[in-house]
Structure 1
Amino acid sequence: MSISHSLSNALSGLTATSRMAEVVSSNLSNVLTEGYGRRVVNLSAQDVGGRGAGVTIDGISRVVDRTVLAERRLADADLGRSITFAEALTSLESLIGKPDDPSSLAGRVAALEASLASAAGDPTSDLFLSDALDKFKSVAKGLNEDQAGISNLRQQADADIADQVSQLNTSLKQIETLNADITKAKAMGTDPSALMDQRQVAIDKISAIVPVKELDRADGRIALMTVSGEMLIDGPAPTYEFAASGIIMPHMTLSAGMLSGITKDGVSMGADGFGRLSGGSLEATFTLRDETLVEAQTTLDALARDLLERFADPATDPTVGAGQPGLFTDAGLAFDPLDEVGLAGRIAVNPAVDPTQGGALSRLRDGVGATTAGPIGNATQIDAWIGALSQSRTLSTGGTASSFAGNVSKFASAISMSRVNADEEVAFSSARWSTLREAELADGVDTDQEMQMLLKIEQAYAANAKVVQTIDDMIRRLMEI
């Protein structure tokens, strides 16, 4: 082997080890960078005329297990969906309260029953009657507040949909730009790995919103499609649009055309609002806004109707005339069975029994429609109020007949059970996601391995440098002869 050939081999080794040191240092510095794919320098033996001519750098590879990455992204969507449901149901449970919570609707009803029992024991006491009035108001207020809270949760879901659609559009535009940049980088022969890292981060932001599959295209470009078959991007990014509502009232629904669904380049995605953008947090948020929370609102309205009708029944209060409101009113008026939607937010105690509104407290003892005061020691009407609460009735939404307290308790228990089920789904989805994430990170940067590689690179660099130094010494010696 000639001196020039040896020098060429050593210099190629120095170049390769320098590049490898650069890549290893990049790996170590990005160990905590989200979306970073570990880099590996691809080397091969250089051959010239059948003789070894050192080493050549074939390129830089970005190490990613595409199968694990694809599964982890699907797990992102499943976890995002389950967390969305769990968080909303936790908020709903907190709003409605548990049956043993004094501030919950069930707790308010229990306090009312206890107060009426005290008033029945001493109907002559204005103090007991006043306390009973306060408890009636408290139950009505509880229904009002729960209705407002559910509307707020629907408004939050509506706003969350808008945020997710905005994130979807932003990420798709980024992918469109990065696709073009990666194609240019490949055409120019430069390393596109950093651009691929950025594209992976953009895709990951989408994967929690909708489950996606990555499809390879020419020149390093990719396309994205949902598992339901919606092509999110394959070239220019489309525009998804959603019009958020400032305020959502109980009667406002998607099916009635009063709430927005998603459109793609101006075309509706479907009657459910999201079409084939299903399977992730976006679908879950639509389901909450248009189904889960609407069902809760419907049951709450049915409870308000049940309460109102119990105390408007002439068998309970003979002083109430036909078409006249009973102890509870629909915003001051008699209840219209065709106008049940939103009743929980309108129900109120009849002003006729409220001294602060010009009524008479004695009507709690004598009947809402009483024109004259009856015997102060007569507890018949108060006993009738107690009987009205304990009577078994079926809600307008169906189910088994129960007392009013029983109906309220079943409502709260159903919400709690749904929340428990949602938490179990989160636990399952989270465990699956964690397993896949660990498998994904197994191909990521391992600092111990990288440091070991760096030591090997240092040794190889030193060996090649020694060859160069030796050749230099030989040439100097020859020059001295």
Structure 2
Amino acid sequence: MGLSSALASAMSGLRANQAALSIVSSNVANSQTPGYVAQTPNQVEVTTADFGSSVMTTGVSRELDTFVQNQLRTETGGSGYADQMANILKQLQNVYGNPGGSGTLETALNNFTSSLQALSTSAGSSSAQTVAVGAAQALATQLNVTTKGIQSLRSNAEQDLGTSAQQANAAMNQIADINTKLQGLSSSDPSAATLMDQRDQAINSLSKYVDVRVTTDGSNQANIYTTTGIQLVGAGLASQFTFASAGALSATSLYNTNPAKSGVGAFNIKLPNGSQIDVVANNVVSSGQIAADLKLRDQTLVQAQTQIDQLAATMSSALSDKTTAGTTVSGPPAGFDVDLAGAAPGNTVNLTYTDTTTNTQRQITLVNVTDPAALPLQNATNANPMQVGVNFSGGMGAIASALNTALSGTHLSFSAAPLPATATTLRMTDDGTGLAKINSSSITKTISSLTSGSPQLPLFTDGGQALYTGAITAAGSQMTGLAGRIAVNTQLATDPTRLSVYSTSPVTPAGDTTRSDYLYSQLTNAVFSYSPQTGLGSASQPFSGSVSNYLQQFLSVQSNASTQATQLQQGQSVVVSTLQAKFNSTSSVNLDAEMSNLIQLQNAYAANAHLMSVVQSMMNTLLQAQG
């Protein structure tokens, strides 16, 4: 029995050597195969007879560090996000152009203000008037071009969402298919190793587009979730991203949680049970290329558009709006009267009052809103000024009632001013409690005539003829997309003399620079407040400054954002490269190690073969002795 046991052990050793040689051969052959994970044989000791043991190969093990692998997938998602953000923001900088270069907003604004200054210096010469109108048209055109550039980038992000959805779906389907093939196979089964390599590659591909969290159950099934807990892949089942493109986007193509009101492509995920989830509304993805595209399309580039729309709106209003202080009402109760006659939709009444209880000064802006579907206006928390919408043409009784209801906690009181005031005069006072004190009030109206007798001029219009008044309707604010529509008033383009002549009765004297001086001052010295939706300032402390200050500020913010995105991209690239190298150090085939293993196997094979030869010789000798 001793010789038989020795022979069995030697034969099992040969079989184990052959299996190990096959694995070494596979490792060497696939040393350059992407995604291939080095394998080692699993060998166990098996008792034979009374003495000694044989060996059995039970399968293979894949040499990988799952902790590093999970880190690598997480950072791959971060890299996909950073790459896309840096790429688009760099292109956005190209849309703005280099500071001081030709064909930029900054240069166009400077040329326009310089032409207005030259118009005053030349006492209103016809050539200077023509040059100033041309400079205004160049500025409007530059705003139009910038809008097209921003919306082109948004459209690119929209298109990329569709492509990324297809790639992510393909990866999820492949993972689910491999899960099905792996059912019933042990993780150490040699045939399972190749499938798991393929599955890991598919998961790595998926991690470029979305953030993934991977768990593997006892049946060797990979379950994949987003970090928010939405399952992407289960046992043989895969979710699917669905995308319905809206085509080329415009400034008014905005995301809305209500699909009927949304102007961008609907991006959803369909779960295996048939239910569908809005990816944007539910924040399904937080990293990867898809998350970057969604943020660019719905936030980053929308804010960039808002910034230039605000520039266009502020310029238009700065030149065409006339503010008139309210008439003091001595009281008691004390306050102010303002005449609402001639106020266009979007025009405002501004009042400042002090809450005497806390000695806090607050501002309120009453906005003329003629579309009831747009009411009530929404305000951010601690917004200053707070906006209240009301229809100025609704009659004093209705106006006062609406304002008293909307501002019931302010201790302010609104009513129709008594005779001899006009029927369109609104009176604003405290409510007699002494808990509020109105400090100032004014009304701002948009001048529509080129010769109103005032220096204000509707130089820029919405599309050439329509006045820009900041009107608010159920469809949104007139400011949205204005930079893409802004144009020089067609009447002014036809008659540039109106840059100097602001009255026809009496006629503005030749050489009068009142209007050009005013226009220049409004664009260079006047201070305005800007919406926090531009990304500057806050609801309680909006950014304020001249038109030039505002332009320089948001261009600086965008430049810094681009620089930071590039730095993040570079940092992520280093992290991914480092983790990939760390992962490869354990999972990739090491040819030196394989050659060393080959020599050991060769020696072991020779020893087992020699042992078999010795056993055979001893058996022959034993048989001869018995004979």
Give TM class, smaller chain. Answer: 0.7 to 0.9
In structure 2, relative to structure 1, the CA distance for the partners of 1:128 and 1:31 (3 Å cut) is farther
In structure 2, relative to structure 1, the CA distance for the partners of 1:370 and 1:280 (3 Å cut) is farther
The one-letter amino acid of 2:582's match is A
Tell me the residue number matched to 1:253.
254
In structure 2, relative to structure 1, the CA distance for the partners of 1:116 and 1:194 (3 Å cut) is same
2:449–2:457 contact (8 Å) kept in structure 1: no
Higher mean alpha-carbon deviation, 53-62 vs 306-315, is at: 306-315
1:101–1:107 contact (8 Å) kept in structure 2: yes
The one-letter amino acid of 1:446's match is N
C-alpha distance after superposition, 1:279-319 (max 9, x if no partner): 43323322222122212212211111111122324699983
Tell me the residue number matched to 1:293.
301
Higher mean alpha-carbon deviation, 140-149 vs 16-25, is at: 16-25
Answering whether residue 469 of structure 2 is matched by residue 336 of structure 1, we say yes
In structure 2, relative to structure 1, the CA distance for the partners of 1:441 and 1:372 (3 Å cut) is farther
Tell me the residue number matched to 1:385.
519
> For residues 127 and 321 of structure 1, what CA distance do their matches in structure 2 show?
23
Tell me the residue number matched to 1:262.
268
Gapped regions of structure 1 (runs ≥ 5): none
C-alpha distance after superposition, 1:105-132 (max 9, x if no partner): 1122123233444444445765554443
In structure 2, relative to structure 1, the CA distance for the partners of 1:109 and 1:317 (3 Å cut) is farther
Answering whether residue 376 of structure 2 is matched by residue 244 of structure 1, we say no
Tell me the residue number matched to 1:309.
317
> For residues 188 and 63 of structure 1, what CA distance do their matches in structure 2 show?
12
Tell me the residue number matched to 1:360.
495
1:306–1:395 contact (8 Å) kept in structure 2: no
Tell me the residue number matched to 1:426.
569
Q: Which is strand-richer, 1 or 2?
A: 2
> For residues 591 and 280 of structure 2, what CA distance do their matches in structure 1 show?
48
The one-letter amino acid of 1:360's match is D
2:44–2:55 contact (8 Å) kept in structure 1: yes
- Aligned residue pairs total 475
1:393–1:403 contact (8 Å) kept in structure 2: yes
Higher mean alpha-carbon deviation, 106-115 vs 411-420, is at: 106-115
2:449–2:458 contact (8 Å) kept in structure 1: no
Tell me the residue number matched to 2:336.
none
Q: What SS class does the counterpart of residue 40 from structure 1 fall into? A: strand
Q: What SS class does the counterpart of residue 246 from structure 1 fall into? A: coil
Over the matched positions of the two proteins, sequence identity in percent amounts to 27
Tell me the residue number matched to 2:547.
404
Q: What SS class does the counterpart of residue 15 from structure 1 fall into? A: helix
Q: What SS class does the counterpart of residue 59 from structure 2 fall into? A: strand
The one-letter amino acid of 2:458's match is G
1:36–1:197 contact (8 Å) kept in structure 2: yes
2:61–2:188 contact (8 Å) kept in structure 1: no
**Displacement after TM superposition at 1:231 (Å):** 1.8
Tell me the residue number matched to 2:488.
349
**Displacement after TM superposition at 1:427 (Å):** 4.0
The one-letter amino acid of 1:436's match is L
> For residues 274 and 436 of structure 1, what CA distance do their matches in structure 2 show?
31
**Displacement after TM superposition at 1:62 (Å):** 1.1
> For residues 462 and 513 of structure 2, what CA distance do their matches in structure 1 show?
27
In structure 2, relative to structure 1, the CA distance for the partners of 1:263 and 1:170 (3 Å cut) is same
Q: Give matches, 1:55-454, under 5 Å.
A: 55-122=55-122, 128-186=128-186, 191-235=191-235, 236-255=237-256, 256-259=261-264, 260-265=266-271, 267-270=275-278, 272-313=280-321, 319-321=450-452, 326-332=458-464, 333-338=466-471, 339-354=478-493, 359-366=494-501, 378-398=512-532, 399-444=542-587, 445-454=589-598
Tell me the residue number matched to 2:378.
none
In structure 2, relative to structure 1, the CA distance for the partners of 1:401 and 1:326 (3 Å cut) is same
> For residues 348 and 178 of structure 1, what CA distance do their matches in structure 2 show?
59
Q: What SS class does the counterpart of residue 213 from structure 2 fall into? A: strand
**Displacement after TM superposition at 1:469 (Å):** 6.3
Higher mean alpha-carbon deviation, 48-57 vs 102-111, is at: 48-57
Tell me the residue number matched to 1:461.
605
The one-letter amino acid of 2:488's match is V
**Displacement after TM superposition at 1:49 (Å):** 1.1
**Which structure is richer in relative contact order (CA contacts within 8 A, separation 6 or more)?**
1
Structure possessing the higher radius of gyration over alpha carbons: 2
The one-letter amino acid of 1:207's match is S
In structure 2, relative to structure 1, the CA distance for the partners of 1:371 and 1:45 (3 Å cut) is farther
> For residues 371 and 60 of structure 1, what CA distance do their matches in structure 2 show?
99
> For residues 187 and 23 of structure 1, what CA distance do their matches in structure 2 show?
16
2:182–2:195 contact (8 Å) kept in structure 1: yes
Q: What SS class does the counterpart of residue 225 from structure 2 fall into? A: strand
**Displacement after TM superposition at 1:134 (Å):** 3.0
